[in-house]
Amino acid sequence: STWTNRFTWPLLDAGKEYPWPEHWVLKSNDGQALRLAALAGNGILLQPEFLVAEDLRAGRLVTLLDDFLPATRPVNLVYLRQRSALPKLDAFIRYILRHAG
């Protein structure tokens, strides 16, 4: 879990945000743990679509609350630029850009 207590989801309804849920049974900042809990039928999760895309395509997970999704947020890829190209880093950046847009 994180150091902060930000485990409510800011659901949008008619342009206004509402925090949800008030109470939870499981909270984690480990997306894989949340994914596995949802796959086991232990609740719902809020994750970037590209992290659960294969589960959605395979029908293992379904979308809920589509009309109340929070506003999109930017994702930044920050790295130290080297004088010479690092093949592993270049491959990783290409992979992220291809899969996350």
Flag the least confident range among 30-39, 53-62, 85-94. 85-94
pTM (predicted TM-score)? 0.62
pLDDT at site 60: 97
Q: Is the pLDDT of residue 12 over 60?
A: yes
Q: Is the pLDDT of residue 37 over 80?
A: yes
C-alpha to C-alpha distance for 29 and 31, rounded to whole angstroms: 6
> What sign does the CA torsion over 16, 21, 22, 27 have?
negative
Q: Tell me the per-residue pLDDT of 45-76, one tens digit each, with 9 for 90 and over.
A: 888 888 899 999 999 999 988 887 777 778 78
C-alpha to C-alpha distance for 101 and 75, rounded to whole angstroms: 10
Stretch 24-30: mean pLDDT, rounded? 78
Contact 11, 44 (CB under 8 A): no
